[in-house]
Structure 1
């Protein structure tokens, strides 16, 4: 194990040295255009990147259900509580804790690894141009000279990896209807169904050049009826310390749009019953100023990947949502290299999580796993983000985000679309007046 860590440290040191020289010559050679290692790992269990999945990888039906390019594959093996020690080196502490809490039911089917991620050529070209140009601002709380693409393809700091995650390309804009499930310890389930739209700065037509805007977002509740019409609007800046996140909420019974400053940091995400914080959505979002960010290095880890089966529209939510955890027989794990970033709460700062460890896929820059610790240093919650590559649009995105409370036995699963009849809409332009408080009330109705 010590030898493995030494090799890991040396590999990371070489990578960091390249990055500090701002040398883009290795992008597309020893490194992929996204900045990940192009070569296979030592034993070949992680293959070389050969371009990712092409648009012709499968069909997408009228409801947005993706054909699984790997449907014929069988698991190489399944990790269980009985053989846990054999595979522990490739598991996060949060994953290990799930095996211990649910020893009779929690399993991880591990499949052959496929490096499916890729990005459109224009996004990759911009990412290359970002090297040496985009810099951190305000101690890492924002960025200078960022427009689009991967801001730090050659990261040297933990916060740069996190910015790569928060700014990763998702088509420029998207709209989708999805449900979330709140599952109690006794197995009872409450569902919330909502519609969300997001436009990143590049797709907002009348945005001023250089505006401090990362994205604009709005969401409205469709079901249940007692909550229908509730809506929120968020303007997310690139630098949220210089200009804090602006948020508004519309409640039909009040017929007023009000400021909603609580949609940030460790305030409970809407309708999650405290199971996820506002900055926990999508693994992590928002201002990073309350933490010190440390880049631990890279690790080979079993992470949820190519989760086409879990996203199949032939499934009902009841097929997926089970007591304790989702149906792990529908999941797919693969061994991938991940960046490991540890966030430690700054002295004097407030947050319910004193420490958080993020595992970020090197190819897609998506957070795949999160381990979250309380003020006593005890592991409290584990998050798994099941992702797949949307080959028709050319980006990787979450099928489902699942946050497990390892103490109470409750969990929250967000992003369910299996029962929806309309596909996710991607790549549309918007104007600023479509994301105003006055528009929110109209849209909510």
Structure 2
């Protein structure tokens, strides 16, 4: 009896430890895409079947800028304040609020849907390994058995925080460096720009790195301000950890004026975003970044929605920033929305925790696991900020990316636009060589020389 009881407990423990069964994992690449989306289209064909995403030669790439594979397409229809009622079941509360706030100018041009998301075969294999092995720890706030796979922690998610983890752990193309611009237009549309050079590096893509010490590091991030002159030379360094409850995010700032490196614990949660004029929090970056532990994450389910997608036009180097940035919101004539299935997740601040956003409402694209739309509510329950992640597939590198992240304050009438590169010298540079020594506090001083 004792032996039998012990065996039963052992089997029970094994079943608890198992992420998904081999039978479930076998759906990846068959009825599901290799990253866990439904491969089939919808009933009326307005969402097509996923057939592998865009090929690597879908269009030309010039100096890192992507040509638009769908440049000849026209909108199927345009949603405006006049006809929004007939489409409201496929719009977020934030989008509906934007139509109300900017009735004369906000619109959503809806184009044919293309399921362009794709990743390299090695990433698909990593996602399957994650499905079979990755476990949530600390009530979903961290991951175990994840270090060997490193991508898409829960491609077959069972709850809301697992959906979020797929966004956090998604493939980003490996080591990448980019020149980007941020702007915070006034209500009349006037703006000044802040220019960044930022880069991200991953432990598995780095040399001269102590892999044992980096076992709980998801990525290394460095961001240098290059303009305006009053901010130029300031550098932020982040070691983004996998389990941020066990080991919180490590961050340092080099202040060029003081020529001093200091720890920066405020670079987390609702700490102010860099040079953002108070219009975004640190965890608004990348639509959501950082630790999930201050919220309870509820998985509402899946639905079809009009989300920003294949936003090549918005990323064109033929545009000036003044073409993009308009009073109240970006130039919606340059945007593209498509009908896609999304995971809907609601986050509510836990009892005893604090955050300026008492509630967050996320809509996550099923194919790429990128957050497409994000609504943020204040402590009174009032909708405050509306986020839109305008995305495109970097077909040459086989990775979905954001072309622009917009966060609209519908109370003040201002917004922040982050990630623009239209007037920069080149597009994103992938695959640069990175060493462990590049991402230490000691290296910050050299990075920040004006």
TM-score scaled by length of structure 1: 0.94
What is the SS of the residue equivalent to 1:129?
helix
Q: Is the 8 A contact 1:40 1:46 kept in 2?
A: yes
| Cα distance in structure 1, aligned partners of 2:432 and 2:242 | 21
1:430 to 434, 444, 447: 434
| Cα distance in structure 2, aligned partners of 1:387 and 1:438 | 35
Q: Is the 8 A contact 1:364 1:396 kept in 2?
A: yes
| Cα distance in structure 2, aligned partners of 1:224 and 1:38 | 46
What is the SS of the residue equivalent to 2:178?
strand
Aligned to 2:203: 201
Q: CA deviation at 1:438?
A: 1.1
Range that drifts further, 259-268 or 420-429: 420-429
Q: Is the 8 A contact 1:135 1:145 kept in 2?
A: yes
Q: CA deviation at 1:21?
A: 4.2
| Cα distance in structure 2, aligned partners of 1:194 and 1:332 | 26
| Cα distance in structure 2, aligned partners of 1:136 and 1:349 | 20
Aligned to 2:116: 116
Q: Is the 8 A contact 1:20 1:156 kept in 2?
A: no
Q: Is the 8 A contact 2:25 2:132 kept in 1?
A: no
2:266 to 242, 262, 267: 262
Instruction: Describe the superposition over 1:297-337 as per-residue Cα deviations: whole angstroms up to 9, x where unpaired.
Output: 00100000000000000000000000111000000000000
Aligned to 1:25: 26
| Cα distance in structure 2, aligned partners of 1:269 and 1:253 | 19
Aligned to 1:418: 422
Q: CA deviation at 1:405?
A: 0.1
Range that drifts further, 174-183 or 199-208: 199-208
Is residue 2:39 matched to residue 1:35? no
| Cα distance in structure 2, aligned partners of 1:237 and 1:129 | 20
| Cα distance in structure 2, aligned partners of 1:416 and 1:410 | 17
1:390 to 390, 394, 413: 394
Range that drifts further, 195-204 or 98-107: 195-204
Aligned to 1:233: 237
What is the SS of the residue equivalent to 2:386?
strand
Instruction: Describe the superposition over 1:103-128 as per-residue Cα deviations: whole angstroms up to 9, x where unpaired.
Output: 01101000000000011001101111
| Cα distance in structure 2, aligned partners of 1:402 and 1:131 | 32
Aligned to 2:52: 51
1:279 to 278, 283, 298: 283
Correspondences of 1:17-416 after superposition (within 5 Å): 21=21, 23-62=24-63, 64-147=64-147, 148-205=150-207, 206-209=209-212, 211-416=215-420
| Cα distance in structure 1, aligned partners of 2:116 and 2:132 | 27
| Cα distance in structure 1, aligned partners of 2:309 and 2:291 | 27
| Cα distance in structure 1, aligned partners of 2:433 and 2:372 | 29
| Cα distance in structure 1, aligned partners of 2:431 and 2:139 | 32
Q: Is the 8 A contact 1:175 1:198 kept in 2?
A: yes
Instruction: Describe the superposition over 1:362-398 as per-residue Cα deviations: whole angstroms up to 9, x where unpaired.
Output: 0000000001101111111100000000001000000
Range that drifts further, 22-31 or 379-388: 22-31
Q: CA deviation at 1:20?
A: 5.2
Q: Which runs of 5+ in 2 are unaligned?
A: 1-18
Q: CA deviation at 1:275?
A: 0.9
Range that drifts further, 113-122 or 26-35: 26-35
| Cα distance in structure 2, aligned partners of 1:333 and 1:166 | 23
Higher Cα radius of gyration: 2
Q: Is the 8 A contact 2:20 2:132 kept in 1?
A: no
| Cα distance in structure 2, aligned partners of 1:139 and 1:39 | 33
What is the SS of the residue equivalent to 1:389?
strand
Q: CA deviation at 1:144?
A: 0.6
| Cα distance in structure 1, aligned partners of 2:136 and 2:56 | 34
TM-score scaled by length of structure 2: 0.93
Q: Which runs of 5+ in 1 are unaligned?
A: 1-18
Instruction: Describe the superposition over 1:38-96 as per-residue Cα deviations: whole angstroms up to 9, x where unpaired.
Output: 0011111100001000011011002x221111000000000000000000000000000
Q: CA deviation at 1:146?
A: 1.2
Runs of 4+ in structure 1 off by over 3 angstroms are 19-22
What is the SS of the residue equivalent to 1:433?
helix
Q: CA deviation at 1:280?
A: 0.8
Q: Is the 8 A contact 2:20 2:131 kept in 1?
A: no
